[in-house]
Structure 1
Amino acid sequence: MTTRRLALTALIGALAFAGAAQAQTSRLTADDYAEILQLYFQYPILLDGGDAEGYANLFTDDGSFGNNVGRAALIAFVKGRAPSTVRHAPLTPMITATPEGAKGVVMNLFVDVAQAPAVVTRVSQYNDTLVKTPRGWRFKTRVNGTANLNPAAAPAPAQPR
């Protein structure tokens, strides 16, 4: 009976330790948030500025943006972009911890700065998977999708009490 109790106690302790370790990996520190936000701040500057190497550095070596997978493809993507007066203007991202790292969702406005005044030409939503690497936080995947701008689909505003 004592051996059974000892084994059960050890098992419960191991499970509790594993659960605590899992909880630790699903948390982001203030430094993590700050570093992830830097990725979001740098992204439009590097992309719109044509800095292909800097842009690729925002991703893991096997990272992807749409069909562009891996460092060489990301560099080629930036170098292959036609000159444009449209700029990326991301809004504030929503960042959530995951067991693998983090996920991010951000709305992006495409702004044509050649028009006076500047005009928003399109709105999209980026869905991101982020991971912490030895080089810091990086995009693992970045998918640009259609933003839901249907006002009928939005919840009704809360009524004041």
Structure 2
Amino acid sequence: MPSAAENQAATLEQFIAGWKKFTPDDWTATWSEDCIQKMLPFTLGVPARSRTEVQVVLPKLMEILTNYELEICEIVHDVSRSKAVIYATSKANTPFGDFKWTNEYAVFLSFTVDGKQINKVEEMVDTAFYREFFPKFQSYLSEHGPSH
């Protein structure tokens, strides 16, 4: 029987693989049903979201980003605290003219007791990028509907 540490390592690997595939189902496949996602820093004022809420917003975001590329720069896994952090960058094309998706993240993950799922995702994003992207995304959604 795998240990919690082995389960955490496998879950972390699966999370990253799902992120790289860049589909909503793959990206959230390792999330527990009660998983909470928070966008950091708190000064952005984005409320925490449940897995269900993320599964509504995420497809809308992913459908507009094309040629998505993720680069994992650093991973720190603290088994004793059931946590991991991933430092990554990503780039993609957007429907917003010459504006490109160029985001930088530190994603903090917390694992369930058995290590088989993730129950908290905290994403520290590039605030300068986010402040420019988010209004464009909101405007796009209001012009094109929630999904096209």
Q: Which residue of 1 aligns with 2:104?
A: 124
The gaps in structure 2 that reach 5 residues or longer are 40-46, 95-99, 128-148
Pair 64,44 (structure 1): closer, same or farther in 2 beyond 3 Å = same
Q: Which residue of 2 aligns with 1:57?
A: 29
Residue 129 of structure 1 aligns to which amino acid in structure 2?
A: L
Aligned residues: percent identity?
5
Q: Which residue of 2 aligns with 1:35?
A: 11
Residue 56 of structure 1 aligns to which amino acid in structure 2?
A: T
For 1:87, what is the secondary structure of its paired residue? Answer: strand
Work out which of the residue numbers 112, 119, 129 in structure 1 matches 2:93: 112
Aligned length: 112
2: CA distance, partners of 1:70 / 1:136: 18
Pair 71,34 (structure 1): closer, same or farther in 2 beyond 3 Å = closer
Higher relative contact order (CA 8 A, sep 6+): 2
Note the alpha carbon deviations across 1:51-108, whole angstroms, 9 max, x for none.
Answer: 3x44333323232142451121111112332523251413144122154411212212
Q: Which residue of 2 aligns with 1:18?
A: none
Q: Which runs of 4+ in 1 moved over 6 A?
A: none
Give the TM-score taking structure 1 as reference length. Answer: 0.52
Pair 139,41 (structure 1): closer, same or farther in 2 beyond 3 Å = farther
Query: C-alpha displacement at 1:128, in angstroms?
Result: 1.0
Pair 105,28 (structure 1): closer, same or farther in 2 beyond 3 Å = farther
Q: Which residue of 2 aligns with 1:116?
A: none
Query: C-alpha displacement at 1:133, in angstroms?
Result: 5.0
Q: Is the 8 A contact 2:82 2:115 kept in 1?
A: no
- Match status 1:97 vs 2:70: no
Q: Is the 8 A contact 1:63 1:70 kept in 2?
A: yes
Task: Mark the structure with the bigger radius of gyration.
Answer: 1
Residue 59 of structure 1 aligns to which amino acid in structure 2?
A: W
Give the TM-score taking structure 2 as reference length. Answer: 0.56
What is the Cα-based RMSD across aligned positions, in Å?
Answer: 3.4
Q: Is the 8 A contact 2:7 2:115 kept in 1?
A: no
Residue 29 of structure 2 aligns to which amino acid in structure 1?
A: N
